């Protein structure tokens, strides 16, 4: 099984400042079709998760452009250019390359300083 | 817009059964694979099961294999999860999630399941 490791587990950030979350997989997430199925999810307090980014760097419908994703192979990053109050929550990376065995990272809690 | 509404959760005793349902609307349900993902209280996300768009293939996490059964009724735009031999460690919020072959996108609000004597 692929293991997804996120760092940090908790990230206190000042409003208006950038934030960055890393996700490392135990093996390459490059699929045999050439795509890399690495997604980022956001879960606000008391809410279900929602998709932010898919295939490393593609923003999902309605996601603000302050969210961006990057990386390749086994190392990936989610960046928020300027943190807003509504960004508080837990962020998960997720791999679908080994579909149907989907795996999530353990989550990173973003909080305001 | 895509809507996924779960129901059927509740409090059950160990070794009992429960069936969850997920009513889908706002998209061509019969064209999409569907997943169940769960989240234990205060914990992270755990993928549970997936079913192909036509029901032809089903896969399960090792933790539920042999106890849970995923199914769907495309005529009713509804996804199901039959949970048998429930254990305390199955206590979680259960989410219905729309998924293509390698990605998942829309999530329902979830239905809570508590297994306790």
pLDDT digits (tens, 9 = 90+) for B10-55: 999 999 999 999 999 999 999 999 999 999 999 999 999 999 999 9
Cα of first residue to Cα of last residue in chain B, in angstroms, is 40
**8 Å CB contact of A50 and B107:** yes
Cα distances from A72 to residues A4, A24, A105, B88, B104, in angstroms, run 14, 10, 16, 39, 20
pLDDT digits (tens, 9 = 90+) for A41-99: 999 999 999 999 999 999 999 999 999 999 999 999 999 999 999 999 999 999 999 87
**8 Å CB contact of A54 and B101:** no
> A101 touching B, CB under 8 A?
yes
- On chain A, the residues whose CB falls within 8 A of the CB of B108 are 48
Contact A52, A109 (CB under 8 A): no
Q: What is the pLDDT of residue A100?
A: 75
pLDDT digits (tens, 9 = 90+) for B52-92: 999 999 999 999 999 999 999 999 999 999 999 999 999 99
């Amino acid at each position: 099984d692929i293991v997804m490791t996120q760092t940090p587990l908790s990230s206190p950030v000042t409003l208006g400042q950038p934030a960055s979350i890393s996700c490392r997989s135990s093996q390459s997430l490059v699929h045999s079709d050439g795509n890399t199925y690495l997604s980022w999810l956001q879960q606000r307090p008391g809410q279900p998760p929602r998709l932010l980014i898919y295939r490393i760097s593609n923003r999902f419908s309605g996601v603000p452009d302050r969210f961006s994703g990057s990386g390749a192979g086994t190392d990936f990053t989610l960046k928020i250019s300027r943190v807003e109050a509504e960004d508080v929550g837990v962020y998960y990376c997720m791999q679908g390359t080994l579909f149907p065995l989907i795996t999530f990272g353990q989550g990173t809690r973003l909080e305001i300083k | 817009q895509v809507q996924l509404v779960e129901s059927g959760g509740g409090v059950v005793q160990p070794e009992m059964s429960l069936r969850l349902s997920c009513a889908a609307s706002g998209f061509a349900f019969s064209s999409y694979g569907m997943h169940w993902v769960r989240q234990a209280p205060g914990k992270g996300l755990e993928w549970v099961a997936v079913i192909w768009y036509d029901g032809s293939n089903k896969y399960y996490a090792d933790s539920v294999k042999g106890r849970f059964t995923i199914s769907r009724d495309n005529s009713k735009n509804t996804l199901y999860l039959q949970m048998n031999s429930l254990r305390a460690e199955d206590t979680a919020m259960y989410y219905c999630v729309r998924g293509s072959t390698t990605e998942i996108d829309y999530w329902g609000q979830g239905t809570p399941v508590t297994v306790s004597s």
